[in-house]
């Protein structure tokens, strides 16, 4: 639950912003109809007018010119946005997006093309529903179930704003605090070429069942500086994450959806759970600084508002410092047998892993192109880089078997090491319709020497009507994460030696923007696949490496139909593997959205529609409390039915609003559903959201 003090802060913030909102209307009235109305109210028949001399008239005109207001009415097009990825090759910016697209799909769990499974509501442990292999190489702790809620340096947007910009974003549930999300972003230019800003993100969702109150904070301070010559750029940010997720161990009554509707739909927040005083906490803080300087000739492509500054040579330097701490805190005895083993303390757990990460990266880029950038032909790009990573980590547990007999934190492992990675990128564009890109990353020295990621893509375009084709391939060799090899906590101890995981991928994509159609076919070959499993019907999760190779085919199709004011959006995925019981994902997934768009009253741009999500039944994974990992436990396979939502969303000037009835079909076929064994998903909920922009 978001505290009362936080609610009062939000109300006060809206009150402070109120004068700025009304000032926008006031300015329009003075310059328009409002001023004409005042003129009509004057009694001009009896008014006396002083006759001015020529000098007095000149002084009055000069005073008017010096004190007149700026008549520019600022819109979103005056505010440009970019991010680190868009600045990697060139300096390019885009207008601020204030549209309604995907506005109702705010949750990290329900993104149409990247759905998740979860142990409950927004803010709790989650994992991809579909098969999405990790592209990481090098050292990895392996704790990622809360990653979707972290604010990373690469997620931060940078702005060019002629006026101060503030965005308020608020999501809540009607009649309950099941889901609550609050975000605020403020940015402004302190100089025409220097922007600063701050982000504040909060998730305070209480959930449908007991012990689901997630309390997440993500904040950042950021800055973008570009020299007047446009040769030097500086991106800098400090970020802070504090994620607090309760651990319930799942509800005790696993048959709640088979009871009568009156029992199933009432009082779920009071249903007993297996753990009542346990929680996970992730703190992730750091400093990120990236600088790049353009050498030689600098080209500019001034085609539209997305024009680019194109260098011919560039040097870049990145510094990254990160502190991450993972904690599992248990203040109760395991009365309901959530844990298979307890090694150090029978009543209390204080499992902590702290990691410190320093990164320095230096790169040089060379671009060979003609002086005319309106038509690009035979353009060559080469990036060469070297990256140094230093890691230091320690793991602690609360131990009652210490020599002193007094429970205390005991360091169980401590290690520090470095990795040196060589990086190279090659890009060659034969014309504006054909291009080849290759990316090579190889760890040559250090703890993870031998890890690599090699990737290549061929882009073929036949114009807007016919579309474009992308042929891709990559091969990856990665060291197993720490959680698989050496892990020491109160309930889990692993000491394993596993081979590197090798992944090979081939892909074919066809995209036709004019037809609103895209399709992608992928083939994966995975050697030495790593996962967690338990004994049959057991809960003793432990890491396992599959000796046989895994084959998987994945086909994704997206197609949108537009009939006048009707929009029908569809996305489907089919995936098939020869190890379906190991890679526990559905064979088929579908998302569809039907909406009617119309402008009401000349100012209210609105959409009324419905969304449906569906996946075929699959053997659901289980969740290991205290380890923070999903594992293959009991072979629980649940019936699967569509989950539908209806919504209304609108834009009024600088404000976006939506109202949504999520899981509207609850009770039609079943009283609820699962995505993870023993953890039911939320009930039907009416939600509303607002995104309010201020700039003037």
Widest Cα–Cα separation across the chain:
102
Looking up tokens 């009071």, which residue turns up? 270
Residue 269 has φ and ψ, to the nearest 5°, of -65, -20
Note the pLDDT of residue 300: 67
Residue 369 has φ and ψ, to the nearest 5°, of -150, 165
The pLDDT-based confidence of 148 (bands split at 50, 70, 90) is: very high
SS3 552: strand
Give the integer Cα–Cα distance in Å for 494 and 540: 12
H or E segment to which residue 595 belongs: strand 588-600
SS3 231: coil
SS3 content of the chain, % helix, strand, coil (to 5): 10, 55, 35
The pLDDT-based confidence of 306 (bands split at 50, 70, 90) is: low
417 and 397 Cβ atoms separated by less than 8 Å: no
**225 bridge partner residues:** 194, 234
Pairing, β 517-527 against β 452-461: unpaired
Q: Is the predicted pLDDT of residue 39 greater than 80, yes or no?
A: no
- Burial bucket for residue 175 (CB in 10 Å: 0-12, 13-18, 19+): exposed
- The tens digit of pLDDT for each residue in 570-615 reads 999 999 999 999 999 999 999 999 999 999 888 889 999 999 999 9
Q: What is the DSSP letter of 426?
A: E
Closest CA to 401 of 487, 494, 490, 495: 490
Query: Can you tell me the mean pLDDT for 230-241?
Result: 95
Q: Give the dihedral sign, CA 143/145/150/152.
A: positive
Higher pLDDT: 229 or 60? It is 229
Give the integer Cα–Cα distance in Å for 471 and 445: 32
- Three-class SS of 308-358: EEEEEEEEEEEEEEEEEEEEEEECCCCCCCCCCCCCCCCCCEEEEEEEEEE
> What are the structure tokens assigned to 203, written together?
């998730």
The answer for 463, left when phi > 0, alpha when psi is -120 to 50, beta otherwise, is left
The pLDDT-based confidence of 184 (bands split at 50, 70, 90) is: very high
- The tens digit of pLDDT for each residue in 328-378 reads 999 999 999 999 999 999 889 999 999 999 999 999 999 887 665 554 567
> What are the structure tokens assigned to 462, written together?
């036949």
Note the pLDDT of residue 402: 56
Q: What is the DSSP letter of 273?
A: B
The pLDDT-based confidence of 20 (bands split at 50, 70, 90) is: very low
H or E segment to which residue 13 belongs: helix 4-31
The pLDDT-based confidence of 43 (bands split at 50, 70, 90) is: very low
Closest CA to 382 of 420, 423, 432, 421: 423
Q: Is the predicted pLDDT of residue 474 greater than 90, yes or no?
A: yes
Tell me, rounded to whole angstroms, the distance of Cα 136 from its chain centroid: 17
Q: What is the DSSP letter of 88?
A: T
Note the pLDDT of residue 670: 82
Query: Can you tell me the mean pLDDT for 202-230?
Result: 94
Note the pLDDT of residue 65: 44
Give the integer Cα–Cα distance in Å for 516 and 295: 40
0.95 surpassed by pTM: no
Tell me, rounded to whole angstroms, the distance of Cα 399 from its chain centroid: 37
Give the integer Cα–Cα distance in Å for 246 and 328: 10
Please state which of the ranges 37-51, 253-267, 458-472, 584-598 shows the lowest mean pLDDT: 37-51
The arrangement of strands across the sheet holding 530-533 comes to 542-545, 530-533, 629-637, 619-624
């Amino acid at each position: 639950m978001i505290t009362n003090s936080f609610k009062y802060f939000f109300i006060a913030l809206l009150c402070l912003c109120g004068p700025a909102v009304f000032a926008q209307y006031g300015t329009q009235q003075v310059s328009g109809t409002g001023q004409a109305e005042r003129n009509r109210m004057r009694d001009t028949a009896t008014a006396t007018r002083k006759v001015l001399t020529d000098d007095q008239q000149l002084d009055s005109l000069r005073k008017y010119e010096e004190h007149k207001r700026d008549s520019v009415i600022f819109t979103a097009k005056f505010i440009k946005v970019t991010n680190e990825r868009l600045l990697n090759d060139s300096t390019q910016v885009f207008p601020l997006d204030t549209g309604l697209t995907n506005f109702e799909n705010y949750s990290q769990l329900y993104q149409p093309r990247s759905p998740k499974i979860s142990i409950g509501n927004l803010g709790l442990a989650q994992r991809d529903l579909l098969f999405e292999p990790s592209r990481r190489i090098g050292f990895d702790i392996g704790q990622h179930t809360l990653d979707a809620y972290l604010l990373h340096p690469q997620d931060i947007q940078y702005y060019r704003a002629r006026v101060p910009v503030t965005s308020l974003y608020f999501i809540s549930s009607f009649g309950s605090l099941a889901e609550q999300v609050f975000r605020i972003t403020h940015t402004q230019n302190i100089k025409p070429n220097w922007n600063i800003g701050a982000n504040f993100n909060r998730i305070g969702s209480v959930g449908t069942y007991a012990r689901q109150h997630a309390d997440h904070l993500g904040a950042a301070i950021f800055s973008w500086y570009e020299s007047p010559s446009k040769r030097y750029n500086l991106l800098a940010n400090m970020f802070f994450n504090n994620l607090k997720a309760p651990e319930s161990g799942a509800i005790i009554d696993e048959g709640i959806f088979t009871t009568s509707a009156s029992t199933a739909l009432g009082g779920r927040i009071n249903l007993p759970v297996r753990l009542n005083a346990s929680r996970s906490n992730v703190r992730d803080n750091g400093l990120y600084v990236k600088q790049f300087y353009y050498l030689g000739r600098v080209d500019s492509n001034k085609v539209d508002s997305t024009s680019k500054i194109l260098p011919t040579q560039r040097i870049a330097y990145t510094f990254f410092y990160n502190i991450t701490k993972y904690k599992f805190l248990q203040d109760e005895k395991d009365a309901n047998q959530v844990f298979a083993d307890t090694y150090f303390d029978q009543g209390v757990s204080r499992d902590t892993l702290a990691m410190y990460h320093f990164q320095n990266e230096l790169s040089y880029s060379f671009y060979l192109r003609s002086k005319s950038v309106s038509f690009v032909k035979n353009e060559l790009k080469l990036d060469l880089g070297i990256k140094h990573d230093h890691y230091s980590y320690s793991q602690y547990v609360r131990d009652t078997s210490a020599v002193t007999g007094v429970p205390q934190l005991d360091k169980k492992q401590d290690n520090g090491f470095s990795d040196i990675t060589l990086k190279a990128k090659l890009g060659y564009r034969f014309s504006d319709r054909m291009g080849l890109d290759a990316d090579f990353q190889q760890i040559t020295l250090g703890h993870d020497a031998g890890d690599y990621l090699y990737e290549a893509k061929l882009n073929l375009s036949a114009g807007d009507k016919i579309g474009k084709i992308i042929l891709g391939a990559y091969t990856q060799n990665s060291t197993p994460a720490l959680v698989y090899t050496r892990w020491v906590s109160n309930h889990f101890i692993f000491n394993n030696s596993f081979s590197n995981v090798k992944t090979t991928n081939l892909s074919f994509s066809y995209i036709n923007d004019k037809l609103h159609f895209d399709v992608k076919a992928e083939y994966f070959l995975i050697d030495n696949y790593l996962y967690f499993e338990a004994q049959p019907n057991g809960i003793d999760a432990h890491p396992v490496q599959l000796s046989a190779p895994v084959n998987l085919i994945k086909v994704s199709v997206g197609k949108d139909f537009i009939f006048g004011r009707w929009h029908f959006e569809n996305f489907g995925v089919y995936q098939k593997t020869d190890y379906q019981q190991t890679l526990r994902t559905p064979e088929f997934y579908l998302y569809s959205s039907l909406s009617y768009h119309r402008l009401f009253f000349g100012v209210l741009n609105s959409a009324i529609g419905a969304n449906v999500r569906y996946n075929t039944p699959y053997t659901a994974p289980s969740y290991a409390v205290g380890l923070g990992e999903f594992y293959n436990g009991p072979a629980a396979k649940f019936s699967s039915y569509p989950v539908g939502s209806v919504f209304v969303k609108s834009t009024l000037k600088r404000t976006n609003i939506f109202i949504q009835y999520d899981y509207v079909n609850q009770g039609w076929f079943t009283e609820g559903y699962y995505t993870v064994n023993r953890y039911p998903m939320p009930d039907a909920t009416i939600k509303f959201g607002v995104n309010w922009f201020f700039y003037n």
